[in-house]
Amino acid sequence: MKPTWTGVYPAVTTKFKENGELDVPGFIKNIEFQIESGVSGIIIGGSLGESSTLSAEEKLQLVEALQPYREKVPVIMNIAESSTVRAIEAAKAAEANGADGLMLLPPLLYKADADETVEYFKAVAAATSLPILLYNNPVDYKIEITIPMFEKLVDVKNIEAVKESTRDLTNITRMRNAFADRFKILGGVDTLSLEPLLLGADGLVAGLVCAFPKETVIMYQLAKAGKIDEAVKLYRWFMPLLEMDIHPKLVQYIKLCEVYTGIGTEYVRAPRKILSGDERAKAISTIESALSTRPVF
């Protein structure tokens, strides 16, 4: 299924067994709950999916595991590489193994300048027919995709959308003023989920959706239906949980949330460790408080 880049796209966690091996049945259990809750696509192998600990083969194994679900939702594979050659290889492999789209980060490690970054995007796009969502997150990845850079990408037809994670909400209006609807825009920071939708974003790429998909989808639907008061009420309930998405240990926090909602496990790959001590107790307190007042739909 071709992605429309509208609605809610969970950047899903990767499930592991206690010994560190992929837990494909656990992964599928979460995916099925996401689909039942009304998400519009699945993004695998992102930072929340512990991309840096996954081999290229494991990412493709997850793509393969999702093949039976492609009639319901598009499967998007993340590409986060430090070289153009490896990014192209990953794009070709994703397409060959049944992915429906790509999320593409700027080059990692080396801080490429604007021209280098644009050429990187063009080279990867030219190597595949898959639709591409660019990930604009200068806070974490140190490279911003600016309006002048997007101007050089307008004619690259399969670059269709951007995950807007600059934390600068004015970028949504600037993008619309510059390009109208040429690029779909998806909010990419959980603590700025509602605001992008009210400013005209087409959807969300979210993290806490992994544990709370129904609430995320309903907030999106309320916002798009103009039911602002209801959306704001839900957003305020959600915010203490959404704060977990902007923490360095977002993976551990969100996996702990998944345990409490019954659709995941806590196992992570080193160097990450499962939360413990006061940090764990504080996280559990936040989760339990939210669950005690969880909206009923």
Give the residue numbers marked as catalytic. 135, 163
Backbone angles phi, psi at 44, to 5 degrees: -115, 155
Cα 268–Cα 269–Cα 271 angle in degrees, nearest 5:
115
Residue with tokens 């739909």: 297
Backbone angles phi, psi at 204, to 5 degrees: -135, 140
**DSSP-assigned letters across all residues of 200-255:** T--EEEESGGGT-HHHHHHHHHHHHTT-HHHHHHHHHHHHHHHGGGGSTTHHHHHH
Q: Identify the burial level of 180 via C-beta atoms within 10 angstroms of its C-beta, where 0-12 means exposed, 13-18 middle and 19 or more buried.
A: exposed
Cα separation of 205 and 242, whole Å?
13
DSSP 130: S
Instruction: Please state whether beta strands 75-79 and 42-44 pair in parallel, antiparallel, or not at all (unpaired).
Output: parallel
- The H or E element that residue 149 is part of is helix 147-151
Backbone angles phi, psi at 132, to 5 degrees: -125, 135
Query: Of 176, 184, 175, which is closest to residue 203 (Cα–Cα)?
Result: 184
CB–CB of 74/107 below 8 Å?
no
Query: What's CA 282's distance to the chain center, in Å?
Result: 25
Cis geometry, peptide bond prior to residue 248 (ω within 30 degrees of 0)? no
